[in-house]
Amino acid sequence: MTTSQPVAPTRDITPSRALTMSTVAFTVCFAVWTIFSIIGVRIKDELGLSETAFGLLVGTPILTGSLVRLALGIWTDRYGGRLVYTLTMLAAAVATLLLSFAHTYPQMLAAALGLGVAGGSFAVGVAYVARFYPAEKQGTALGIFGVGNVGAAVTKFVAPFVLVAWGWEAVAQLWALALIVMAVIFWFTTGDDPVIRAQRAGRAARPNLASEFAPLRNLQVWRFALYYFFVFGGFVALALWLPRYLIGVYGFDIATAGLIGAAYSVPASIFRAYGGVLSDRAGARSVMYWTFAVSAACTALLSIPAADYVVQGIDGPKAFHFEIGPWAFTGIVFVLGFFMSLGKAAVYKHIPVYYPQNVGAVGGLVGMIGGLGGFFLPLLFGVLNDLTGLWTSCFMALFVIVAASLAWMHFAVRRMERDERLQPA
């Protein structure tokens, strides 16, 4: 006669509780992840950094948050989101606190690497939340979770005032405290997802590690990753870069630049929930077509530098001046952020549909590539500024990426449609 081993008790929570707490936690994590978009400007002035060095500083947390996403997604699939999410926030809090004591550029880069772990929380939340919802509702649920991107706007709204009043070190300390408080709240208000509960009760087996990585061999996964490189990586890059851009191009002070930058971050975050609803109703593919088409138009327009033109008229030379003013720029960036938010939700609608048993691994890889966009693009923006001397060169780079994404998606869709027609009835 055999006796079963006792199973540790787990807290059974509702899907809405899991979604709400995960979204709030992701908001706090994202606010920390983009902290250098504000304090980086002050640090640049204090240390006399070049544009390239500044781009590396603001992009370093994005690098860490991107690289850890695959591992965190897999760990979430295997050990549960409640544990992994809490530990992620605590680890990021320690690094953020240490940042306030950094004085040299290498020290700040080291601290930035550590606090970047906060960005990996996205992969944890996606894998955790998806297990609470059926396939037909996952687009909406993950879209709502992605609203946590609004943390970038929180940093842009609040951090400039804290910085002016008490210095950039106080921003780091307060943001670290917010992470610690959030980690404690999350641990005591959430529980394990249904799959982890079933595994611990002996009703389901934990998948082996090799099966977690198997879908990553599919080219389709890497195509989704390129989409996310633009819609998310481009979003993060602009969220970090816009305050610097607005100060350099339009001469705004840091508080005004932060507020206008938030006009981009807010729609690119809040409307992600609407993108999830649209993806459930109209299909993720249609949403992606609209996203890429409108984004290509916006980035093409923003790529045009201010210039003076002289044309030969009937009565002699005529001079014209072209420039996108601050209000027009803000409006175009708002539209760009809105469609990027739809695209972010649409990409992650695909993942649980095509890879329901590997959301953590596939979502982690796609999130990692998207996050790497948030690292490499600010660095590229700085390099392009140094090489070309054109502020609009950042939008030129984004136009090339979105055009390539649109072309690859269109040809892939046409190939799939052709293969379907050739299949016997």
Q: What is the DSSP string of 3-51?
A: -PPP--------HHHHHHHHHHHHHHHHHHHTTHHHHHHHHHHHHT--H
Q: Alpha-carbon distance 375 to 152, whole Å?
A: 15
b (16+ CB within 10 A) / e for 321-346: eeebeeeebbebbebbbbbbbbbbbb
Q: Name the phi and psi angles at 339, rounded to 5.
A: -75, -30
Share of the chain above pLDDT 90, in %: 28
Query: In this model, does residue 180 exceed pLDDT 90?
Result: yes
Note whether residue 423 is domain-resident: no
Express each pLDDT in 18-51 by its tens digit. 999 999 999 999 999 889 888 888 888 888 888 7
Note whether residue 422 is domain-resident: no
Note whether residue 298 is domain-resident: yes
Query: In this model, does residue 424 exceed pLDDT 60?
Result: no
Q: At a CB cut-off of 8 Å and minimum separation 6, what does 296 contact? A: 399, 402, 403, 406
Express each pLDDT in 93-139 by its tens digit. 999 999 999 889 999 999 999 999 998 898 899 889 988 888 778 77
β partners of residue 311: 318
Q: What does the pLDDT average to over 156-167?
A: 87
Express each pLDDT in 343-393 by its tens digit. 988 888 877 777 776 767 787 788 788 878 877 888 888 889 888 988 999
Q: Name the phi and psi angles at 9, rounded to 5.
A: -65, 145
Amino acid at residue number 302: L
Query: In this model, does residue 4 exceed pLDDT 50?
Result: no
Q: Burial of 311 by CB count in 10 Å (0-12 exposed, 13-18 middle, 19+ buried)?
A: exposed
pLDDT at 84: 94
Six-digit token pair at 163? Answer: 């910085």
Q: CATH number for the domain including 110? A: 1.20.1250.20
Note whether residue 324 is domain-resident: yes
Of the pLDDT bands very low, low, confident and very high (cuts 50, 70, 90), residue 296 is very high
pLDDT at 89: 96
Contact predicate 406/294, CB 8 Å:
no
pLDDT at 13: 75
Q: Which range of residues forms the domain containing residue 358? A: 15-197+207-415
Six-digit token pair at 112? Answer: 């930035």
pLDDT at 268: 65
Of the pLDDT bands very low, low, confident and very high (cuts 50, 70, 90), residue 201 is low
Of the pLDDT bands very low, low, confident and very high (cuts 50, 70, 90), residue 300 is very high
Amino acid at residue number 286: S
Q: Alpha-carbon distance 152 to 156, whole Å?
A: 6
Contact predicate 233/372, CB 8 Å:
yes
pLDDT at 151: 86
Note whether residue 175 is domain-resident: yes
Of the pLDDT bands very low, low, confident and very high (cuts 50, 70, 90), residue 425 is very low
The alpha-helical segments, DSSP class H, found in 104-253 are: 105-115, 121-130, 135-145, 151-166, 168-189, 194-200, 209-213, 219-228, 235-250
Using CA atoms of 211, 217, 220, 224 in order, give the dihedral in degrees to the nearest 10: 80
Q: What is the mean pLDDT of the chain?
A: 84
- Which stretch of DSSP H or E encloses residue 311? strand 307-313
Query: In this model, does residue 297 exceed pLDDT 60?
Result: yes
In total, the chain counts a number of residues equal to 425
Locate tokens 């709204």: which residue? Answer: 157
Q: Alpha-carbon distance 241 to 125, whole Å?
A: 26
pLDDT at 183: 96
Query: In this model, does residue 86 exceed pLDDT 90?
Result: yes
Express each pLDDT in 403-420 by its tens digit. 999 999 988 888 877 776
Note whether residue 392 is domain-resident: yes
Of the pLDDT bands very low, low, confident and very high (cuts 50, 70, 90), residue 240 is confident
Note whether residue 6 is domain-resident: no
pLDDT at 232: 86
Q: Alpha-carbon distance 48 to 105, whole Å?
A: 10
Q: What does the pLDDT average to over 89-95?
A: 95
Six-digit token pair at 105? Answer: 């550029």
DSSP letter (8 states) at residue 231: I
Note whether residue 113 is domain-resident: yes
Q: What does the pLDDT average to over 140-164?
A: 84
Looking at the structure of the chain, the number of domains it has is 1
Q: What does the pLDDT average to over 305-322?
A: 78
Query: In this model, does residue 7 exceed pLDDT 50?
Result: no
Contact predicate 166/44, CB 8 Å:
no
